[in-house]
Amino acid sequence: MGERRLIRVRDVMKRSFDTVDGMDTVARALQQMRHVDTKCLIVRKRHDDDELGMVLISDIARQVLARDRAPDRVNIYEIMSKPLISVPPEMDIRYCARLFARLDLSRAPVVQNGEVIGIVSLTDLVIKGMMPVG
């Protein structure tokens, strides 16, 4: 039986992500997105004792677009999730997948020393984590 190689979250996470301020409007946040494949925006902390937030593109679709709300009149803080579940970069992707399944998460920030260093999604875990070596 072959040895199973350990794959860590840092090996599969996306290192490119967009951050926004909670006071930004949805319209402004969408204009500032630099990464075309972004499916979420990390909401920066306002101060050291604050927590990170996140807005998924699906949140914008459900809470702004589907409800016919004007994106220039909705602030990010109104639709964001906060506080977040984050994962460490050293975590084995199998445990990360179990955490996501148990808590019904699709993605989470990867945090090291209090700083976001990436985003990991179920897609990253499956596609990048289960590809054959070689």
Q: What is the pLDDT of residues 63-102, one digit of tens each?
A: 999 999 999 999 999 999 999 999 999 999 999 999 999 9
112 pLDDT higher than 70: yes
Q: Is the pLDDT of residue 105 over 90?
A: yes
Q: Would you say 16 and 43 are in contact if contact means Cβ atoms under 8 Å apart?
A: no
Q: Under CATH, domain 9-128 is a member of which superfamily? A: CBS-domain (3.10.580.10)
Residue with tokens 């040895």: 3
Distances (CA, A) of 14 to 21, 36, 40, 46, 79: 21, 13, 12, 24, 23
Lookup: tokens for 54: 């996140």
pTM across the whole model? 0.87
Q: What is the mean pLDDT of the chain?
A: 92
Q: How confident is the model at residue 134 (pLDDT cuts 50, 70, 90)?
A: low
**3-50 per-position pLDDT tens digit:** 678 999 999 999 999 999 999 999 999 988 877 677 899 999 999 999
- Please report the pLDDT score of residue 132 as a whole number: 67
Distance of alpha carbon 50 from its chain centroid, rounded?
17
